[in-house]
Amino acid sequence: MTAMTLHRPRLKARRLTDILSHGYIWFCLVLFVLPFVALLTQSLGERGGTSGIDNYADVFGSFGDNLLWSFKISGLALLVDLAVCLPAAYALVRYPVPGKRVIFSLLQLPLYVPGAVIGLSLLMTYTFVYPIEFMWGLVLAMSVGSFPLMLTPIVVALKDLPLVFEEAAECLGATKWQAYRKIVFPLIGPGVSAGLLLCFIIVFNEYLVTLFVAPPDLETAPLRVFNLVRTNGLAPSTAALAVTMQLISFVAVLAFFRLFGTRHFKGTYIL
Amino acid sequence: MATDSGSLTSSVRALAPELRRRQRADRFRTAMFLAPAALLAILFLYSPLAFIVHMSFTIGSSFLSPAGPQYTVDNYGLMLDQYLPNLLVTIQLATLAMLVDLVFGVPFAYLLVRKVRYRDVVRAVMVFPMFGALYVAFGLSFALLPGGLLDPVLRLLGIPNTALLFSLPAVVFAMSIFTFPFMVMNVGTALSNVDPTLEEAAACLGARPWQTATRVILPLTRAGIVAGALMVFGWSIGTFAEPLLLGSLNEQRSLAWTVYQNAVVENDYGIASAMGIVLLALAFVVTYFSLRYSRGALVE
Amino acid sequence: MAIVHLVSVSKRYGATVAVEDFSLDIADGEFVTLLGPSGCGKTTTLRIVAGLVEPTSGRIRFDDQDVTDLPPRKRNIGFVFQTPALFPHLSVADNIGFGLSVKKARKDQIAARVDEMLTMVGLSGYGARLPAQLSGGQQQRIALARVLATDPRVLLFDEPLSALDKNLRDSLKYSILDLQRRTRKTAIYVTHDQSEAFAISDRIVVMNAGHAEQIGTQTDIYLHPQTPFVAEFIGANNGLPGKVTGTDGSGDDERSVVSAGGLTLRARPRAGVGPGDEVLVYLRPENLVVLPDGDGAGYDNVVDGTIERVIFEGPTAQLRVDVAGRELRVDVSGGRRLELIQRHGRVRLGFNDLTLIPVTAAAAPPPTS
C-alpha cells in the first residue's frame, strides 16, 4: 500500500512533463503556421460584399502569367543546379581533391550572402560588366543562390553510398560511365530529389534578388506578391496569391515526403 | 618464383611515366568535374562581389558618366557618419532574433529529437517559414490587425494591438519564426549525435534533470548551439521584408532595405555598394565561425 | 583458366608501406589463400590484382598478358567482396546478368546464363526477388553467381565470409571450394581466419607487414614454420628464446642441444643452425604430453613443472604449467583431460617435436597475442 501511494505523485509528475513537452512543441508549430493561417482566413473572408472566392479570381487571371514565369525560371535554374552539382559532388566525395574543405565551404558560401548583396552585385555586374540577356541573368542569379542547397544532399547521399557498389560494377566489366548511370545515379536518386525540392522551394518563392535583377517586363509570382504588398497594402486579394504560392510549395514538399521519406535531407535545414 | 631481375628493373622504370600520366589524367578529370560549379560561383557570385568592392570606392553614379568613375573612400566615411544607426538597427534586430531563437529553439530541438515520434508532422509544418520571410511578415501583419487572428490573444494579455503592429517586437517575432528552422537543424543534428544512454547514465548516477542538462547535454551540443546561433545571426543580417512590412520607421532603416533604396531608387551606386560590403563582411565573419563549428566535416 | 604472376609488387601510401616487394606465381586452377592479421597488406594485394588499386611498382600478369595498366573491367576477373555488394535497386536476376548486360549481350543469352548460375548456387527461382529479401548467406551466394556469370579468368575473394555467422561460414566455405573446383578457375582468397584458410586452400601465403612470411601447403606452414611470426600466428605455440650450445648423437638421432630459459632441450637439427647461434624454440601445446610420474621413456625432453591454472574448453583442456619460472601452455584432449582438470600441483611433461628458428629470421616483430 505504501509503495503504491509513493508511486502516484511520481507518475503524475512524469505525465505533467509529457503534457508540457508536447504542448510546447504544438505551441511552436502553431506559431509556424500562424502567418499562413492568417493569410488563408483573410483571403477567404468576406469583406464589403465580395465573397472570399473572388479574392482568388486573380490567381486564375493575370497571376497565371507570373506563375508561368516562376515555373519557367525555377525549372531552368534547377537544370543549371543539377548540371553543376552532380559532377562537383562526385568529385568532392570520390576523388582526392586538395583543399576539399575549403572548396566545399567556398561552394556553400552563396547561401550565406545576404540576398540584397547578391542582388546588388549582380545588378551592377549585369549593368556595367557583362551584358546578359535578362531572363538568363535571373536564371543564373537563382542558380548561384540555390545550388549549395542541392550540393549538400547529393554529397551526403554519395558519402552514404559504399564505394563497393561501383567497384563491383567495374569488376563486372562496366565502364565508369555505365557504373555511374546504372548504379550510382539510381542509388543517390532520393538525395538528388531532396536537392531539387529544396532548390525549388527557394527559387520558386524568391523575391529579393529578383527585385534587383528582374527586367521591367518580367515579373515572377513572388515578386508580384511583393510589389502588390508595397503598393496595395494588406489586401485580401494579395493574401490569396501568397496562399496559392505556399500551397504549391507545400504540395511539392508533401509529395516528396510521400515518395522518398525525410531522411534524405540530412545536412540540410530540414532535420 | 624466379623472376628475371633485369626485366624487373626495366618494368619498374617503365612504370614511372605511365603512373605520372595517369595522375595527370586524374587531376584533369577532377578539375573538369569541379569546373561548372566553380565557374558558376566565380562568374555570378565572387566576381560580382569583387566588382561591388571596386564600386564602393567610386563616387555616386560616376560609373555612368562618360568621363569614367571617380575614386574616393568617402562612401565608407559616410557609412560611419550618416548610416551608423542603420547598421546598429540591423545588428540589434539580428541579435534579438538570435536570442529568441536560442531561448525557444534549444528546448524545441531537444524535445523534437528525444520525445517526438510524429516527427514527420513537425517537419512538414516547419517548412512553412522556409517558404520565405515575405509570407511570414505579410501573414503576421494580417494576424496583428485589429480583428486579426492574434487579436483575442492580445486582448487577453492586455496588450493594445496598435502597440504591436509596426513595432520592433513584431519585426523580431517574424524574423525569429523565419530563422527558427536553422536553429533547430543545427542543435537537433548535434543532439542526435549524443548517445541518449549518456543521459540515462547521468540519471542513474543521481543527477537531477537540470544537472543532466547543464553538465552533460549542453557541453556536448555546444558546437551545434553556437553554430545555429551564428547561422541565425548571419541570415538575419540581411533581413528585408520583415522590417518593411512590420516595422516602424526606425526598423525600416535596416541595411538591406537601405541598400535597395540607394541602389535602385537613388542610383547612388557608390554608397549602396559600400553598404553591401559592410553587410557582406558582417555575414561572412559570422558564417565563417558558424561553418567552422559545424559543417565543413561533410566532405571529409 | 589462367596463370597469375605477381612480380615484385609494392604499394606505398605516402610513407606507409602497404605491400613490399611481393612476388607470387599461381598455377592454373590453383586455390591460393593470403592469410594474415588485419593490416598485413593482403587485401591491398588482392585489390592490386583486381586493378582496384594501382601498385606503386611491380607488374601483374595473367598468362602472358601484362594487365598492370588495365582497368578492372578489362581484366575479366570475378571479385567477391566482404559484403555481398548486390545492387539494392536491381533484382537478383539483373544483378547476376549485370556483367553480361554491360557488355551488351543478347537478352535471351543473359536470361539463360542467369538461370544456369542460379541453379549452380542452388537458388533457382529466386531471380525476381530483390537482394533485401534474401538472407546474408543467400546474398553472398548470389554475389558468387554474379561473378561466375561473366566467366572470369581469375576469382578473387576478399574475406567473403567474415560478415556471416559461424554455421553459415562453415557451409559456405565448402560451397566456394566446390564451385572453384567445378569451374576450375584460378582463385585467390584473402582471410584472417586460419581454419578457413586450412580448409580450402591448395597453398597458403602467410603475410605480415606487407610481405610474404612463408608460402606453402597447410602441413608445411603448420609443421615447419620458417619465421617466428608464422610459428606464433598459426595455431598456438610456446616460444622460448635460447642458444644452441652443441650437438648430440648422430645420423637420425642427431640432436641440437639448446639452452633456453634455464632448461636444456634437445631438438632435431635444422640446416643453418649450429652451436653458438641464438634461436627461438617453439613447442606446440598439443605436443607436450603429461607423463605419469617417473616415466620419460621415448621423449627427447622431460621437464617438471607446476600446474598453475586449468581451463576446460570442451573437446580439450588447457593447462598452464610453470616450468622453471616460465608458463607453458599444454593442450590435453581425449579422456585424460577429464582426469587432469582435477589435478593440481607438480606434473611431468615429455615432448619431442621442437622447432628451432634462428633469431636472424625474426626481422619482423611477431604480433602480441
Domains and CATH numbers, chain C: 4-228 (3.40.50.300), 238-284+353-369 (2.30.30), 285-351 (2.40.50.100)
In a domain? residue B58 = no
For A147, the closest of B40, B140, B284 (CB atoms) is B40
Contact B11 C24 (CB under 8 A): no
Reference B257, options B238, B270, B271, B274; nearest CA is B238
The helix (H) or strand (E) run that includes residue A63 is helix A63-94
CB of B56 within 8 A of CB of B277?
A: yes
Reference C138, options C149, C148, C127; nearest CA is C127
**Distance from the first to the final alpha carbon of chain B:** 42
pLDDT for the residue numbered B49: 94
Contact C23 B3 (CB under 8 A): yes
Sheet of C154-158, strands arranged across: C77-80, C154-158, C186-191, C31-35, C203-208, C211-216
The b/e string for A243-268 (b: 16+ C-beta within 10 A; e otherwise) is bbbbebbbebbeebbeebebebbbbb
Chain A touched by C44 (CB under 8 Å): no
Give the relative orientation of helices B5-41 and A100-108 as an angle to the nearest 10 degrees: 20
The b/e string for A165-200 (b: 16+ C-beta within 10 A; e otherwise) is bbbbbbbbbbeeebbbebbbeebbebbbbbbbbbbb
- Contacts of residue A169 in chain C, CB cutoff 8 Å? 87, 98, 102
In a domain? residue B136 = yes
In a domain? residue B41 = no
Q: Where are the alpha helices (DSSP H) in A112-235?
A: 115-124, 134-160, 164-171, 176-179, 185-204, 208-213, 221-232
Chain B touched by C216 (CB under 8 Å): no
The tens place of each residue's pLDDT in chain A, 271 residues long, gives: 444 445 555 667 788 888 999 999 999 999 999 999 999 988 887 655 556 677 777 677 788 889 999 999 999 999 999 999 999 999 999 988 888 888 888 888 888 899 999 999 999 899 888 888 778 999 999 999 999 989 988 998 898 899 999 999 999 999 989 999 999 999 998 888 888 988 999 999 999 999 999 888 889 999 999 999 988 888 888 888 999 999 999 999 888 888 877 666 665 655 4
Render pLDDT for C80-123 as a digit per residue (tens, 0 to 9): 999 999 999 999 999 999 999 998 889 999 999 999 999 999 99
CB of C21 within 8 A of CB of C212?
A: no
For A242, the closest of B47, B138, B276 (CB atoms) is B138
CB of B170 within 8 A of CB of B148?
A: no
Nearest-5° Cα angle at A178, C118 to C108: 40
Shortest CA gap C78–chain A (Å): 7
Domains and CATH numbers, chain A: 66-265 (1.10.3720.10)
Q: Which domain holds residue B172?
A: 83-299
Domain count, chain B: 1
In a domain? residue B269 = yes
CB of C117 within 8 A of CB of C148?
A: yes
Q: Is a pLDDT exceeding 70 seen at residue B230?
A: yes
pLDDT for the residue numbered A48: 54
* Count of residues in chain A: 271
In a domain? residue B100 = yes
Q: Is a pLDDT exceeding 80 seen at residue B10?
A: no
**Dihedral pair phi/psi, residue C281, rounded to 5°:** -105, 130
Render pLDDT for B172-220 as a digit per residue (tens, 0 to 9): 999 999 999 888 888 888 888 888 888 888 888 888 888 888 888 888 8
Shortest CA gap A1–chain B (Å): 26
pLDDT for the residue numbered B6: 42
Shortest CA gap B2–chain C (Å): 9
pLDDT for the residue numbered B8: 42
pTM: 0.82
For B15, the closest of C25, C57, C215 (CB atoms) is C57
In the numeric block, the cell 529578383 is attached to A210
pLDDT for the residue numbered B296: 44
In a domain? residue B123 = yes
* CA–CA dist B180, A270 (Å, integer): 11
In a domain? residue B210 = yes
Shortest CA gap B88–chain C (Å): 52
Contact C73 A162 (CB under 8 A): no
Return the SS3 of C323.
Answer: strand
CB of A264 within 8 A of CB of A190?
A: yes
pLDDT for the residue numbered B5: 42
Shortest CA gap C207–chain A (Å): 24
DSSP state of C292: P
Give Rg (Cα) of chain A: 24
pLDDT for the residue numbered A152: 87
- Compare all CA atoms of chain A with the CA of C71 and give the residue at the minimum distance: A170
Q: What is the dihedral of CA C229, C234, C239, C242, to 10 degrees?
A: -50
- Contacts of residue C54 in chain B, CB cutoff 8 Å? 19, 22
Contact B141 A226 (CB under 8 A): no
* CA–CA dist C166, A99 (Å, integer): 44
For B3, the closest of C7, C56, C57 (CB atoms) is C7
Position B15 confidence tier, pLDDT thresholds 50, 70, 90: low
**Mean pLDDT of the B229-249 span:** 90
**Dihedral pair phi/psi, residue C123, rounded to 5°:** -130, 35
Return the beta strands (E) in C124-277 as ranges. Answer: 154-158, 186-191, 203-208, 211-216, 238-248, 255-260, 263-267
In a domain? residue B69 = no
Residue spans of chain C under pLDDT 70: 1, 293-294, 361-369
Reference B108, options A67, C182, A271; nearest CA is A271
* CA–CA dist A225, A205 (Å, integer): 10
pLDDT for the residue numbered A271: 44
CB of C16 within 8 A of CB of C75?
A: no
Contact B11 C59 (CB under 8 A): yes
Contact B18 C69 (CB under 8 A): yes
- Contacts of residue A52 in chain B, CB cutoff 8 Å? none
Which one of B19, B21, B23 would you mutate to disrupt binding with C, by most C Cβ within 10 Å of its Cβ?
B19
In the numeric block, the cell 617417473 is attached to C294
pLDDT for the residue numbered C110: 94
For A222, the closest of B36, B132, B185 (CB atoms) is B132
Chain C touched by A185 (CB under 8 Å): no
CB atoms within 10 A of CB B24: 10
Position B295 confidence tier, pLDDT thresholds 50, 70, 90: low
- What CATH number did the domain enclosing B139 receive? 1.10.3720.10
Contact A168 C76 (CB under 8 A): no
Chain B touched by C58 (CB under 8 Å): yes
